[in-house]
Structures are given as structure tokens and as C-alpha cells.
Structure 1
Amino acid sequence: MSERSEQEASANIQDRSSKDQMVIGSAWMTAGSIFSRILGAIYVIPWSIWFGSYFLQGNALYGKGYNIYSFFLLAAIAGVPSAIAKQVAHYNALNEYGIGVRLYKRGLVLAVITGVLSAVILYFGAPLLTGGDPNVIPVLHSLAWAILVIPAMSLTRGYFQGYQQMAPSAISQFVEQVARVIYMLVTAFLIMRVWHGSWVTAVSQSTFAAFIGAIAGFLILGVYYVKRRSVFTGYIENSNNDLVVSGKELYREIISQAVPFIILGAGITIFQLIDQYTFFPVMKMAGSYTMARLNDFYALFAANSNKLIMITVSLSSALAIAAVPLLSEAFTRGDKQDVRRQISDALLLFMFVMLPSALGMAAVARPLNILFYGQAEEALGSSVLAFSSYVSILLGLFTVMSAVMQGISQNKLAVRYFAIGTGVKLLLQWPAIYFLGTFGPLAATLVGLGVTCLLILRSLHLQFGLSFNPIANKANQILGLSIATFVIARLLVLLVGIFGRYGRIASMVALIIAVAGAAGFYIYMVLRTRLADEIMGPRVGAFRRILHIK
């Protein structure tokens, strides 16, 4: 009887619809990503206070170092985690779980090798990557240590995701961020307030925190793997074992799948590096600015606003990660209808979360900017944050669309479209910066990624008959409610502003009122109109009953 119950439970899991799997997976990845991003932004408040007048300089240095580090990290990870998730899901769909385990082990060897090589190159090549700022060198030295650990950690996350087990990745991601932030704040306080040390040293220790966080996150994954080892063993024992794949073929599969993931995974980072190495020389041509002044401008769009908009972009990243294994399974089965349905579901889920989040952030840009970054460059910083919020929609869409293309094995085509978008970005970069200043890099990014996304959507329409008519009604509802959410949030911010000048406390009050009012309206309306049910499934009906919404 017990055995029969277990079989029925297993059958129920197998019969779960792809939409339910995507929503559940997205929920875990979204929760982990959002909590991590929020925590990664909140630390800025005490961090900025302790840095005092050196804050913008420190944040600019932090951003410069992290952009270079992100590129090296993506090269070290080499796209292997996403490739492993995709290929493990592929073989699991064929009931060849043993091959998936071998893929993981082979990938782990690659991750260790690439991690060591990338860390060594970053550490010893730091003087060549400064862009004229020698303070970047110690920051890059401190970041090189994290690259030794993160590739293997990311690979293990990919292995869990191949089984649609998103909880281990989400929880380890959150623990990683907690450990990182604690180390950052403790060292910043000691260096800047207790020992009255160098702000460059404080930034270097803040970036070294990435290594501390990586160790903590990896330990969590290890605990999960030990707990679930018997489950994985059971899958392997019940595999078909019909396929024979040599070690050489496994390496070839990993590498062939991983290379496009490197380019597309590094897409946003590549755009940020273009900004980093072009902004300063073009701005020097446009006016007589000191290096310190240019660092302040750079911090506003590349560090300050970027840190906040990546909270909303991480929503779409979570969707993208959840979509790849499911799309891969449907594509492996040759089920075009299921592929088309999952792409539509991914697009609707993206719009359902991203549009109100991005527009809402634009509406509360001023109090949000003051709360996190104080009164330094308040007017310009708030305007940059508002514009960045609109750009974040394209950043998120690119993340989802590139993941969809990878999930259906259209890697080369996706890379080609990204190359076209990068070319457009490069063509617009100089005139955009020269005439628009701090807004220039963001404008060039908006157009460049917009071109890439349009090309990908056109390709999906031609290959799979993806039609936008069936989702147009829901998309229009989401857009209409998102605009209404923006208006409500904006009016509430203006109303609070009538009673006095914004400081950090007043900004926090304005944010609480505006977010509660606008988010409450959006949640009520999507539940009241049953739009949430259509996009996320019948499970959300429980929230309607709890909130007594008819």
C-alpha cells in the first residue's frame, strides 16, 4: 500500500503541467533572487553613511571593479551551469539520469580549471584593466579570490535546476548574499569609522566579501546534495541506460552548449563594460570635467541606479532560469505546440511581474534615490534612476528571450542577434554620451537591446508560429494596470512631498505609502479580474479567498 502511494505521488509529480512547473520554479528563483538583490541594495544605506564624502567615489570604484569581475566570472563559469541544467533536463526527459550525473562530474572538472585560470589572469592582469584608475588594482585583486569558488558553486546550482529543484539554488543564493553583506558592513565600519583608514581599502574589503559569500553559499548546496543523494541514486538506478556517451563526447556537449551561454550570459555585462571604457573619454571631449566629477556622474548610472534596477531585472532572470530546462524538455520531445505555449507563458509571466515593478520604481525614483544614496546629486540621480527603470524592462526582456533561444537550441542565432544589437549600441554610444551625458549610455543600451529582442521575437514567430494575438488581450490588461499602478504611486509620492522636504526618513515614509498603495491596487485588480489565475494558474485563488476578494 505504501509502495503504491509512492508510485501515485511520483505519477502526480510527472503529470504536473509545464505552466505549474514554470510558476513554481520561477517562484523559488524569484524569491531567492529578489531577497538577495534587496539585501544587496539595502546595505548601501549604512555603507554610504560610513563612507561619508567618499561615497560616490567609493561606489564608482566598486562599480568599475565589479563590471570587470563580472566579465571574468562569466568567462570562468563559461556558461557551464546553464548548459548543464539544459543537458541534464534533456537526458532526464529521456530517462537517462546516469548521463546527467556524469555531465555534472565532467563539468565540475571544467569549472575548477576555468576558475583557477580566470582568477590568475584577473589577479596578475589587473594593472592592464584599470582604464586609467590605479585604485581599481587592489579591488580586482580582492575579487580574484571569489572566482576560484563561484564556478563550481554555480555548476552545482545548474545540476539542481536540471531536476527543476529550484529551492537549493534560491536558498544558497540568499545565504551567500547574507554572508557577503555582513562582511562588507563590518569591514566598512571598522576601516572608515573605527580605524579611520583609506576608502580604497574599505572598497577592496567590500569586494573581497564576494569570496566570503561564495563559501557560505557553496556549503548550503553541499548540505542539500547530501540530503537528496538517495533521491538522485534512485533516479539513476531506474534509468533506461540505453544511451552510451563517452567522456570525450560529454566534454564536447558541455563546451558546445556553454559557449553561447557565455556570450549571452555576459550580454548585460558587455554593455556595462562598453559604458565603463567609453564614458570617460567621450565626456572629456564634451566638457572640462575633473576625474572626480566624472566618477560622480559614472556612479549615478553605472553603480547607484544599476544596483536598484537589477532588483527588478532579477525577476526576469529568475523566469529565464526556470524556463530553460522546461523548454529543453519540450524541444527534445519535438512538441512544437508545447514549446509555443511555454514561450507565451514565459512572456506573459515576465510582463505580469516586470512591467508594474519597473514602472513602479520609476514612479518612486526620487524618494528611493534619497533613501539609499542621500542628498548627493539628488536631482540628477533621481532622474537617472527613473530613466534606468524604463531601460530595465529591455534588460529583463533580453534575459528572458536569450534564455528561451538557448532552451530551444537556437544558440548561434541568439548570439548573432546579440552581436547586431551590440553593433547598434557601439554606433550610438559616442553621440549619445556626447549629447545626453549621463543618460547617453542608458539610451544606447535601450536601443541596442531593443533591436536584439525584436529580432529574437521575429525568429520565434517564423520558426514556431508564435502568435501574439492570443496573448494580446492579457498583455494589454497587464500594461493598463501597470500604468495605473505608476500613476497611483506617483500621486502618493507627490502628496507626501507636499508636507515637507524629502530627507531619508521622509523618503522612507513616502516609499512605504506609495508602494503599499500602488502594489495593493495592482494585487487587488489582478485577483479581482482573475488575470492572475490565467497567468499563474488556479493556485492563486487561495489568495483571493484569504483576502475576501470576490
Structure 2
Amino acid sequence: MTNSSDTKATDKSSQSKMLRGSAWMTAGSIFSRILGAIYVIPWPIWFGVNFLAANNLFGRGYQIYSVLIVVSTAGIPGALSKQIAHYNEMNEYGVGQKLFQKSLILMLIMGILSAGALYLLAPVLSQGDARMIPVFHSLCWPLLVIPLLSIMRGFFQGYAEMAPSAISQFIEQVARVIYMTVTVFVITQVLRGSYIDAVTQATFAAFIGAVAGLLLLIWHYLKQRPRIEKLIAGSNNAITVSTNDLLKGIIKQSIPFIVIDASINLVYIIDQYSFNRMMSDFVIASDHQLWNLYTLFAVNANKLISITVSLAAAMAVTAVPLMSAAHVRGNQKELRQQIGSTIQLFNLVMIPAAFGMAAVAGPLYTLFYSHDALGISVLQFSSYISILLGLFTVLGAILQGLYQNRLALFYLLIGFIVKVVAQYPAIYFFRVYGPLVSTGLAFATSSILMLAALHRYYHFDVWQTIRRLIGIVGFSVIMYLITSLTVKGLLLVFNPQSRLQSVLVLMISVAVGGLVYAVLALKSRLADYVLGSNLDRFRRKLKLK
């Protein structure tokens, strides 16, 4: 029989791993997303009148590329981290190592196939737009490397080591942004070349970044190899699994990861291939004008909300191996607590982040693109929709970590049906906001079904989660109101159309909003309850005690 003190220690250890892993992955995701968005700041100046066209080409190319990245990795990194955590919990480190080696070979093959497919399909995917073909061809190169990079991240995540993944994400983005910035500047400002050539080099930068991230992970693996070999030597070796069985198991586990991981991008693909056709039924506009409208929500806004959605993605990556390990131990109490803690941690971080982005949407959009009333309004609406995207990401990861893959896929399918059915009427009633409305309805539907299933099968504490959610939403609304007033007050002094002055407005308003939320969460001790730790030292620093 399990000792109660041991159970408490295990619960605390799991929560500690969740917080530490989420902290690393969140830091890595946030910094890499910010770096991945910073490149666009000088683009309006460098591209001039071609800015929206350049951003449109870049965004359309990346939408297809993002889906192919998920397919080319075949969901194996996520499945690998889950399986390695499973075998490690059984003290079968040798099986996990063998699985990793076989997955590397499989990923190399998948990378070659996906790169070849994109190269050959480029004319079809371009929808007759010849400018897109060189962009797609440039994205074939990173497809050769990204699968190997992803599988190494999955390996370390299976050991609950999130730091290597987080640091490699950061290095990947640094190398990518440096190459992109230098080449775009040289082509547009020095050589006075074509904006299409500049965008092509900007997308090729993904290859440079992937190589840099891969080299870092290889170095870390070599550094950790003696410790890993020691763990393998101490394995039970009670399980013998054939190569075919290993690969079948990993592929079977990976299929849900493919669909779940690609779900948001697949929804964006629906928008990419339907928005212009559907909008042309309701408005009189040229293709160029429709592509500009598409760019506002599908490229400009999505690039910025990806920063907040990355918070959820970081938690999802951390949750999968921890849920899998808890499932192996069969401790129902630990599972209930882990599910509740993950959802509450998501709420504590994601909801204020989304409300905060909506509050500072004006200066934020102006800084990255230029002052545009419609673009700012679309970003505000997108900020709220990002909560649903993030919630779906986390809940899908929890279900997969608990081996409820069919449920996750079934609920996602229902969400897709809602998206397709709602797309046309949503565009009819809400025009440029329509795709965002249908996306919100789709992921809200899937998330509600997933929450109901988690409560039905695992009985996590719903009322505790709801009580804390009410507090988090209340504090987020207060923070939003104060931050919005701060922005409006500052814009009476600063020029709202100045990108440089927007930086000052953004810095001050974000600091005010962050401080308000921190004070409310600490003063009420809501942060202590969710994080499961005493935060008195932060209260002392803020003189709240």
C-alpha cells in the first residue's frame, strides 16, 4: 500500500516538474516568438508600398510550411517524449534509447519526403500566383532539418529536461532573425532588388535557424551522454521490444499528435483558401484588396497572438510526459491534481496575457506594422480568440498524455465541422472578423467537450477550477481597464501614429498592467493556490505584507 507521505511527495514533485518545465518552455517559447515577430518591425520601411504584399507572401508560405512541419515530424517528437517518459518510469531506459535511435532514422526519411513533396506541389499550392513558387521552394530546405531537430527536443522532453528545448528554440530564432534581417536589408536597401527575392531569403532563414538549433542539441546530447549511458546500464532490462514493435508503437501514438499539433494551422489553411472566394460574394473588391484584408487577421494579428498562444504550447509540451508518467503509476489522486493544476496554471497565465494584449493592441500593432484602425481592432478580437486556441492546445495535450487519443481526435473533428459550417455565415455577418468568429466557435466546442470528458473520466476538481477562474478573469478585467486607461492617457501626450513613441507607450502600459495583475494575484494569494507554493518573498518585495 502506498504511504500517504510518499503520495504527497510524488504529487508535489509532479507539480514542481510541471512548473519548472513550463517555466523553461514558456521562456523559450516567448523569447523565440518575440524574436520571430521582431523581424517585421523594419519591413514597412524597407519594403515601402510592397510591405503588405511581402507580408502576405511570407504568411501564406508559412501557413503551408507549418502544416508540413507537423506532418513531416509525424507527431513523433510528442509521441516520443510520451513513450520515453513511459519507459523511464519503468526503469527501462534502454528501450527509450533504442526508440530514439530508430526515430532519428525515420525522421530523416520523413524530412526528405516532405521537402520533395513541397517542391513538386509548389505550383499547385500557389493557386496560380507565380510569386509563391520561389517562396515554397525556399521552404523545402528547413523541412530536411526540422524533423531531426524536433526529435531531439522530444528526447530531452521525455527525460523532463525542458531547458535544452527552450534554449535551442531561442538560438534557432536568433540565427533565423539575423540572417533574415541582413538579407532583406541588403536586397531591398543596398541592391534595390525585388521584394519577392527578399521574401524568399526571409523564408529560407528557417533553414539557417534550424541548423543552429540542431547543432546546439547535438552538443548538449554529447555532454549528457555519460549520464544517459549510466541510466541505461542500470535499467531493469525486463522488457524486450522488437524494432518493428517500437516503430509501430511510436507511429500509432504519433497520429493524434499530427492532427492535434496541426489543428490550428489547418484551420488557418481553411481561411487561406476560402476567405477571398467567400468575401467576394459580399463585397466588391479586387483580389489585391481582399489579400490585404486577409493579411490583417491571418498574418499580422496571428503573428502577434502566437506569442500568447506559445504560453499554452509550452505547458502542453510539459504536460504530456508528466501525464504519461502519472498514468503509468496509476495514482488517480495524482492524476486529478495534475489535470486541475495544469488547467489552472493555463488560466493564471494565458487569460491575463490575452487581456493585456487586447489592452495594448494600439501601440503594439503600430510598432510592428503601422497605425491602422482596422488592423488594431482585428488584433484586439484575435487576442480574445487566442484564449480558446491555447485552451484547446493544453486540453488536447492532457488527453494525449492520458492515452485518450481517440477522444482528442473525435472532439477535434467536431470542432472542424463547426469551423467549416460556420465559415460562410460568419464571413457574411462579420466580414473580416468572420474567420476569427468561426475559429473561436470551433475551438470553444472542442474545448468544452474535452473538459467534460476529463471531468467524467478523472473527476478533477471542477468547482475549485471554476472558483479560481472567476478570480483570474476578474483580476484580468481590472488589469485590462487600468491598462487601457493608461494607454489612452499616454496617447494624449504621445503621437499614436509614431512607431518610436509607441514603444514608450507600450513599455509603460505593459509595466502598469503587469504590476496590477501581480499585486491582485499575490494580495489575494490566488497565485499561491494555483502555483502550490508560498510567494511571501514576492509580497515582501512589493510591500504587500
TM-score range, shorter chain: over 0.9
How far the C-alpha of 1:431 sits from its partner, in A, is 1.6
Give 2:382's aligned amino acid: S
Alignment of 1:145-544 (within 5 A): 145-375=141-371, 378-502=372-496, 503-538=498-533, 540-544=535-539
Give 2:69's aligned amino acid: L
Instruction: Name the CA distance, whole Å, in 2 between partners of 1:514 and 1:484.
Output: 14
Where does residue 39 of structure 2 map in the other structure? 43
Instruction: Name the CA distance, whole Å, in 1 between partners of 2:503 and 2:534.
Output: 33
Instruction: Name the CA distance, whole Å, in 1 between partners of 2:43 and 2:360.
Output: 22
Give 1:400's aligned amino acid: V
Give 1:284's aligned amino acid: S
Instruction: Name the CA distance, whole Å, in 1 between partners of 2:141 and 2:416.
Output: 30
Instruction: Name the CA distance, whole Å, in 2 between partners of 1:484 and 1:511.
Output: 18
CA contact (8 A) 2:11 2:334 kept: no
Give 1:81's aligned amino acid: P
Give 2:467's aligned amino acid: N
The DSSP-based 3-state class of the residue aligned with 1:35 is helix
Change (3 A) 1:132 1:226: same
CA contact (8 A) 1:340 1:465 kept: yes
The DSSP-based 3-state class of the residue aligned with 1:281 is helix
RMSD: 1.4
Instruction: Name the CA distance, whole Å, in 2 between partners of 1:61 and 1:432.
Output: 25
Q: TM-score, normalised by structure 1?
A: 0.96
Where does residue 82 of structure 2 map in the other structure? 86
Instruction: Name the CA distance, whole Å, in 1 between partners of 2:128 and 2:159.
Output: 46
My pick for the range that moved more, 106-115 or 463-472, is: 463-472
CA shift digits 1:262-304 (9 cap, x unpaired): 0011000100000000001112222221121112111100110
CA shift digits 1:172-217 (9 cap, x unpaired): 0000000000011001101111111111111110000000000000
How far the C-alpha of 1:527 sits from its partner, in A, is 2.0
Where does residue 111 of structure 1 map in the other structure? 107
How far the C-alpha of 1:41 sits from its partner, in A, is 1.4
Instruction: Name the CA distance, whole Å, in 2 between partners of 1:76 and 1:163.
Output: 23
Instruction: Name the CA distance, whole Å, in 1 between partners of 2:287 and 2:490.
Output: 37
The DSSP-based 3-state class of the residue aligned with 1:234 is helix
1:121 to 117, 120, 132: 117
Give 2:437's aligned amino acid: A
CA contact (8 A) 1:405 1:411 kept: yes
CA contact (8 A) 1:47 1:185 kept: no
My pick for the range that moved more, 499-508 or 18-27, is: 499-508
My pick for the range that moved more, 526-535 or 246-255, is: 526-535
The DSSP-based 3-state class of the residue aligned with 2:280 is helix
Where does residue 6 of structure 1 map in the other structure? none
Change (3 A) 1:13 1:339: closer
1:20 to 13, 16, 22: 16
The DSSP-based 3-state class of the residue aligned with 1:286 is coil
Where does residue 549 of structure 1 map in the other structure? 544
The DSSP-based 3-state class of the residue aligned with 1:374 is coil
My pick for the range that moved more, 447-456 or 291-300, is: 291-300
How far the C-alpha of 1:435 sits from its partner, in A, is 2.9
Instruction: Name the CA distance, whole Å, in 2 between partners of 1:210 and 1:374.
Output: 25
CA shift digits 1:433-454 (9 cap, x unpaired): 2332211110000000100001
Where does residue 4 of structure 1 map in the other structure? none
Give 1:508's aligned amino acid: V
How far the C-alpha of 1:547 sits from its partner, in A, is 3.8
Give aligned pairs, total. Answer: 537
Give 1:365's aligned amino acid: A
Where does residue 53 of structure 2 map in the other structure? 57
Instruction: Name the CA distance, whole Å, in 1 between partners of 2:10 and 2:429.
Output: 56
Instruction: Name the CA distance, whole Å, in 1 between partners of 2:154 and 2:239.
Output: 22
Give 1:265's aligned amino acid: D
CA contact (8 A) 1:364 1:493 kept: yes
Q: TM-score, normalised by structure 2?
A: 0.96
Instruction: Name the CA distance, whole Å, in 2 between partners of 1:429 and 1:525.
Output: 39
Instruction: Name the CA distance, whole Å, in 2 between partners of 1:500 and 1:52.
Output: 24
Instruction: Name the CA distance, whole Å, in 1 between partners of 2:211 and 2:175.
Output: 9
My pick for the range that moved more, 132-141 or 388-397, is: 132-141
Instruction: Name the CA distance, whole Å, in 1 between partners of 2:9 and 2:397.
Output: 25
Spell out structure 1 runs of 4+ moving beyond 6 A.
Answer: 12-15
Where does residue 135 of structure 1 map in the other structure? 131
Structure 1: unaligned runs, 5 residues or longer: 1-11
How far the C-alpha of 1:14 sits from its partner, in A, is 7.9
Instruction: Name the CA distance, whole Å, in 2 between partners of 1:472 and 1:384.
Output: 29
CA contact (8 A) 1:111 1:155 kept: yes
How far the C-alpha of 1:539 sits from its partner, in A, is 5.8
How far the C-alpha of 1:15 sits from its partner, in A, is 8.6
Instruction: Name the CA distance, whole Å, in 1 between partners of 2:433 and 2:328.
Output: 44
CA shift digits 1:526-546 (9 cap, x unpaired): 222222222223264433344
The DSSP-based 3-state class of the residue aligned with 1:228 is helix
Change (3 A) 1:342 1:240: same
CA contact (8 A) 2:77 2:153 kept: yes
How far the C-alpha of 1:463 sits from its partner, in A, is 0.8
Instruction: Name the CA distance, whole Å, in 2 between partners of 1:500 and 1:19.
Output: 45
CA contact (8 A) 1:79 1:258 kept: yes
My pick for the range that moved more, 428-437 or 92-101, is: 428-437
CA shift digits 1:301-354 (9 cap, x unpaired): 011000000000000100111001110011112222211111100000000000
Instruction: Name the CA distance, whole Å, in 2 between partners of 1:154 and 1:14.
Output: 29
Instruction: Name the CA distance, whole Å, in 2 between partners of 1:297 and 1:309.
Output: 17
